[in-house]
Amino acid sequence: MKPTIFLPLLLAVMISSPLSADNGGLESLRSDNIAEQSPSAAMQKIAESDGPMKRDFVQQPPLIPHDIRGYEVNKNVNTCLHCHNWKNADKFGATKISVTHFYNRDGKQLADVAPGRYFCLQCHVTQTHSQPLKENTFEPVDSLK
């Protein structure tokens, strides 16, 4: 590349670099500068409660009231079903999976959990007492209050 073209191009890139660091006043959810390395926040503790937390909307999947770290859920194995299937739920004192989990997407009832409902963590999450990342005015529907 010719020096007469290369030098102005290099100069333009170097001058514009600090200007591109401006984020336009946007604030990240973590309230951190993403360009800086910061330590991760401590993991949330599992909520201690007398039972399941209240739901905020109709058809909200129940939250998981226990630690699931180390649980294996993949196409070959689903550790959740060991305790929550209908056969073992009473023995382990676990909540039985809903009958809706035995219907496929066409509405046909199956003898076992439907493939679309097999991966529990698509819908169910561990309950924690965490604060919202942003202020909001969400209110549960009247039927759930």
With a CB cutoff of 8 Å and minimum separation 6, the contacts of 31 are: none
Three-class SS of residue 46? strand
pLDDT tens digits, residue range 37-57? 666 555 555 666 666 678 888
CA atoms of 135 and 56, how far apart (whole Å): 16
Q: Is residue 116 part of a domain?
A: yes
Per-residue confidence (pLDDT) for residue 97, from 0 to 100: 93
What DSSP designation does 121 have?
G
Per-residue confidence (pLDDT) for residue 54, from 0 to 100: 80
pLDDT tens digits, residue range 74-94? 999 999 999 999 999 999 888
- Say if pTM beats, i.e. exceeds, 0.75: no
Three-class SS of residue 126? strand
Q: Can you give the pLDDT of all 145 residues of the chain as single tens digits?
A: 566 778 888 877 777 666 666 666 666 676 666 677 666 555 555 666 666 678 888 888 988 888 888 899 999 999 999 999 999 999 988 889 999 999 999 999 999 999 999 999 999 998 887 788 889 888 887 877 6
Q: Is residue 127 part of a domain?
A: yes
Per-residue confidence (pLDDT) for residue 98, from 0 to 100: 92
Per-residue confidence (pLDDT) for residue 110, from 0 to 100: 95
Q: Is residue 123 part of a domain?
A: yes
Q: Is residue 16 part of a domain?
A: no
Count the domains in the chain. 1
Q: Is residue 18 part of a domain?
A: no
Per-residue confidence (pLDDT) for residue 32, from 0 to 100: 64
**What is the domain extent for residue 135?**
43-145
Q: Is residue 137 part of a domain?
A: yes
Per-residue confidence (pLDDT) for residue 20, from 0 to 100: 62
Q: Is residue 7 part of a domain?
A: no
47: CATH:
1.10.1130.10
